[in-house]
Structures are given as C-alpha cells and as structure tokens.
Structure 1
C-alpha cells in the first residue's frame, strides 16, 4: 500500500527558532503595504501580535518574530501539526491563548495587531472581522491565500506561492525584517526549482486533493496552497480550473476526472479525519473503484499545516514530488 505520511520530510525547513535582527531605527515610521487589494498603513512596528491557525503562526516564527507576539490561537494546545512543526520550540515557548479566536481573546492579550484570514479566524457570522477590530483600535493583516476575490465569498486573488511570498514581503516590511523575508523567499524558490526537476520528462499524474466530506467532497481550487504544491511537484490538480481556494465539489465530477493519485489532508484529530480512515472510505466508495488512484492504491498524506499557506509549502512540494516519481 503506497500511503505515506510526510512529516519527517517537512521538518527539513531552514530558519527554525531563528532570532532576526530588526531595524529599530524606523520602528515608529509608518509603512504602507497592499493587503487583499487595499492599501493599509501601520504607524509603528506591532509589538503584541495575536495569530490565528498554525500556518499563519509559523510565518511569524519563520521570520524570527516570536518576540513580537502576545500569543497564538490554535484549536488544541498539543496538536499533531504543532508537534511536527519545524518551529515546535517556538510553539512551546510562545503563549497558546485559546482554541478559538474572538474579540475577547485578543483584547485579553492586549493585542495591537491580529494576523488571520477569512475562514482562518475572520468571519462575519462570529462578528470577528477586520472592521470590528479596527473599531477597537487593533490593526489587522489578512492572509493573502484567504483574500476574497470579489465573487461572493470565493477566496484567492493570486497563485498560492505568490500569496506566500507576498505575505512574507509585507510582514518583512511591517516588522522591519525585509532582508530575512527575501532570504526565506530565495531559499524556498531554490528548493521548489530543485523539486521540479524530479519530474522533468515524466507524465503528469492527475491529482485529487481530498480534505473531507462523504456526501460531497471538500477540495482545493486553483487559489489555495494545494494547487501550487501539486503543480510544482509535477502533478495536475483535477480542480485547478475552479476560481476559488478551498471549496465543495460533487463526486460525479471527481469520478469523471478520473484521478491517478489522491492527496489526503491529515488533520490527525481522530474524528474520521485520519488518513487511514479517509483512505478506507475512498477505497470503499463504489463510484471511484475504476479510477487509477483506487486501483493502484496511490494515496499520499500531508499535514494540514503543510497544505494551507505556510512556510512548510516548499518542503511539501519536494516531498510530494519524490512520491510522484514512483507513480
């Protein structure tokens, strides 16, 4: 059975636990960045940052900005994503504020800056929005992967890796660590270029990203991180034509598109979300039985934090490319 967990591969990320020198001479000079299509000005370097979700928090850690954080919000103080994080030491020493973000949590932390995203913390239904925080005097930065694109609540305004690089550069500017941001980006680009060579001249397998859902599958369109993880590794996302990030589709279309490989999101929470449970469901799902992925048991699993925008994305591409060379 060719099912694999790529946790070990994802530990090979540089910059773990780094402390980065900041340009304090301009700490109180306003800077302006473009975030989700809007010009946003920050009057000074934030010093009490609250982050929401694992990947977002890891962006701060990768830039060496743990000392600028009041704490982070992640569902569960001891998750598999945290335990396998290249920045585990930073998670362990930073403050876990809550399982769920709210105005009360960020006010209790005396936050002056919140880094989250739509469906990654920000939500109209909960009342936790950038506008609501602005009224409390708290600045916000929105994860670019989750930016709304102007079509209802669809998300994604640029390719996934461009979103990662955009956020690193913007955060570098806001926190005066631009040199560190460029160093990370250069390293990631080289890692991705090296991974791409592994599949040079080989057929491009069709890949179905399976997050969850039995009645209807939840998957990735072209604007979420799996799009670039799949394509840069040498595969073809069967839902890469959808102008959305994470979204629900139907099984009929999955069957029609006949995947060669199934990439599973590993939440590691035991609630019908382990890769083994998801694989067992897919192998027993009658309409998919004739697909090459099911016939040949071509399953691969990556952690949740590696499949949303995060500094784990380049290592994920490398790990998945190595798997695809055996397909």
Structure 2
C-alpha cells in the first residue's frame, strides 16, 4: 500500500470552509452563507458544527490552517498573506498555477496534525480547523481545549462542509455547503467579492453539467465506485452519502454505489463492492506533485484491481472503465470540486456532457 498524507482517519473531515452563523445582537450581522448582510462589513459571526458562535469584529491578521485545503482557499481568496503556518502542508507541485509557489512559502507547523504547544504558541489570532475533533473521538491527537485557545488569543473555527458531514441530516447531493463555506471565509477575511467570484465560477461549470445530465432518471445513471487506493486495499474505504464525493458523483450524472450508507466514510468488504459491481471506478489516489508521479500511482491502483482475484472480474475492470481523478478534488471541499464534476460527466456521458 502506498503511503498517504491524507490518511483515511483524517480524510473523513478534511477540507471545506467556514459556514453560516447567526448574528448575536443588534448591529451584528451573519455571514453571507446565512443569506444576510454584505461581504465586507463587520462584525461577522460564524458557527461550528454544534452551533457555537464565533464573532469577528475585524479581519484576522495571523491565520494558521490545519491542512492544505483551507490554505488553498485562502490563497484563492487573496488572503494567503495572512497565513503564518499550516499543518498537513500541500506537496510541492500539487496546487495549480501560482498558488503552488505561494503555498510552499507558508511555514509548516506540522507535517500532519500541528502539535498542541506549537499551535498555541504560533502567534495566530485564528485557527481554521478542518479536522472536527469534536466528533472524531479524540482521533486528532492532543488538541487544545477551547479555554486554552482563548487564553492564547486564538479564535478557533471549524470548517463545516466536510467537518460536519457526518452530522448532516440527509444525503449531500450538491455543493451548496462548499459554496456557503467559501462565502463565509470571504466574509471573515474581508475578501467577499473574490469569494462571490469563485462561487460564480463553480456555478457556471455545474450549471452546464446540470443542463446536460441533470434530468437523467436515476435508473439510467451508471453506478460509480470511488476506490480510495491510498486508504488501503485490504479493506476498502467507501464514501457514503454525507461525504462531498457523493455530491460530486451525483452532480456528474452517476450513482454512488454506497449512497445507501449514512455518514461520510465507512470501511466495507470487497464482497460488498463485488455485489455492487459498479459500471465505473474512479482510481482515487492523492496528488503526488507531478504528472509522471500521478500516472505511476494511477497505474498501480489500476493494476491492483486487474490482478486481484476479488476485483478482476468486476464489470468496470473488464470493460476498462476507469477514471483517473485525484482524491483531493473529489473528497476535499474546494473550488476544484466543480472541475471534478465536469471531468466525471464528460467521461461517463461523452455524448451529453462534452467540453464547453
């Protein structure tokens, strides 16, 4: 099994950004995700997965991000100069265009989870937490308490579109939560106009795909399995109906074979995959930073499926129906989710969802 920075225990909660909250009093305003206020005024109030409020009276000056997805969105919003450190840093070459060079200049406070003492002593006034340790049973290590965050002068906010996925009331079939998160982060950092621009770009891409395949009856949609190769092959990790990937797959005109699983991720058996016998399989490997390294990883994942006695007879394997799309764009909330929807739709519905 290949080593994976985005371990299966953390993939459940990586990514996404600050979502809507409620105003706390007269003169206060909620973030745009709640449908009120403008994108630049303060105070701004956001909530965590449990509804606890955090209010900002001005833009944060020093931000620490718990992983690369939050860092990427801050860079896209134009707030990257405020980031003084990150955990789970992006590998070199994994972010597009000029984002990569800027990301590489951000101080790495932890190759995985940032150590408690280093986080509290970082000098940050905002920590954007994508790990939702509140519902991970302590799986994210020795995290600071809320009292310790307050004593250090750090506002602690959770990222909701994936961090709160396991607590969603029903299946996630669109990217509205991701778009709300982008708007909210824009409100918090004073980059609301750029946030609206990013959301508009996503909506344009998603609208074109929806026009092409959105009206397709459920029974006519091909079945689809996201094969998380980096999470391990002994017992596959399935994406359930609360995970962002379920929305990406649904919007692209396919049916997640494990959409009957309530939650975000769960381990299944290969006998379960065989019973589903998917029409298409996405080779989910993380971005290794270069086209050559990525192709090598995709080749390994495909070869494993072809050579394993339990999987070589699957319909998708026998018919060469593989998609080579990286894990991050599919399972971690961000602007590139819309790109993944486009790519999946073009591949599985070539006659309907061609290039714009």
TM range (shorter): 0.7 to 0.9
Matched, 1:50 2:74: no
Give me the whole-angstrom Cα distance separating, in 2, the residues matched to 1:310 and 1:296: 31
Q: Residue 231 of structure 1 corresponds to which residue in structure 2?
A: 250
Give me the whole-angstrom Cα distance separating, in 1, the residues matched to 2:301 and 2:133: 23
Q: Residue 205 of structure 1 corresponds to which residue in structure 2?
A: 222
Question: Aligned with 2:175: secondary structure?
Answer: helix
Deviation, 1:222, is 1.4
Does the 8 A contact of 2:162 with 2:244 survive in 1?
no
Q: Residue 168 of structure 1 corresponds to which residue in structure 2?
A: 182
Question: Aligned with 1:234: secondary structure?
Answer: coil
Give me the whole-angstrom Cα distance separating, in 1, the residues matched to 2:115 and 2:54: 22
Q: Residue 342 of structure 2 corresponds to which residue in structure 1?
A: 318
Matched, 1:288 2:311: yes
Q: Residue 259 of structure 2 corresponds to which residue in structure 1?
A: 240
Give me the whole-angstrom Cα distance separating, in 2, the residues matched to 1:47 and 1:122: 28
Q: Residue 140 of structure 1 corresponds to which residue in structure 2?
A: 156
Give me the whole-angstrom Cα distance separating, in 2, the residues matched to 1:42 and 1:228: 31
Q: Residue 127 of structure 1 corresponds to which residue in structure 2?
A: 142
Deviation, 1:247, is 2.5
Question: Aligned with 1:263: secondary structure?
Answer: strand
Question: Aligned with 1:219: secondary structure?
Answer: strand
Alignment of 1:1-327 (within 5 A): 29-38=42-51, 39-75=53-89, 78-82=91-95, 84=96, 87-100=99-112, 101-118=114-131, 124-125=138-139, 126-128=141-143, 131=146, 132-148=148-164, 154=166, 156=168, 159=172, 161-199=175-213, 203-211=220-228, 212-268=231-287, 274-307=297-330, 308-326=332-350
TM-score under structure 2 normalisation?
A: 0.73
Give me the whole-angstrom Cα distance separating, in 2, the residues matched to 1:127 and 1:133: 13
Deviation, 1:262, is 0.7
Q: Which range moves more in the overlay, 57-66 or 104-113?
A: 104-113
Deviations 1:226-262 (A, max 9, x none): 1111111111111122221132222222111110111
Give me the whole-angstrom Cα distance separating, in 2, the residues matched to 1:129 and 1:192: 39
Aligned length: 296
Judged with a 3 Å threshold, the aligned counterparts in structure 2 of structure 1 residues 98 and 118 are, in CA distance, closer, same or farther, namely closer
- Point out where structure 1 has 5 or more consecutive residues left out of the alignment: 1-22
Give me the whole-angstrom Cα distance separating, in 1, the residues matched to 2:265 and 2:277: 20
Give me the whole-angstrom Cα distance separating, in 2, the residues matched to 1:86 and 1:259: 38
Give me the whole-angstrom Cα distance separating, in 2, the residues matched to 1:204 and 1:175: 40
Q: Residue 12 of structure 1 corresponds to which residue in structure 2?
A: none
Give me the whole-angstrom Cα distance separating, in 1, the residues matched to 2:132 and 2:308: 29
Judged with a 3 Å threshold, the aligned counterparts in structure 2 of structure 1 residues 86 and 197 are, in CA distance, closer, same or farther, namely farther
Deviation, 1:89, is 3.4
- Point out where structure 2 has 5 or more consecutive residues left out of the alignment: 1-37, 352-356
Give me the whole-angstrom Cα distance separating, in 1, the residues matched to 2:328 and 2:320: 24
Q: Which range moves more in the overlay, 234-243 or 103-112?
A: 103-112
Does the 8 A contact of 2:116 with 2:144 survive in 1?
no
Give me the whole-angstrom Cα distance separating, in 1, the residues matched to 2:115 and 2:270: 35
TM-score under structure 1 normalisation?
A: 0.79
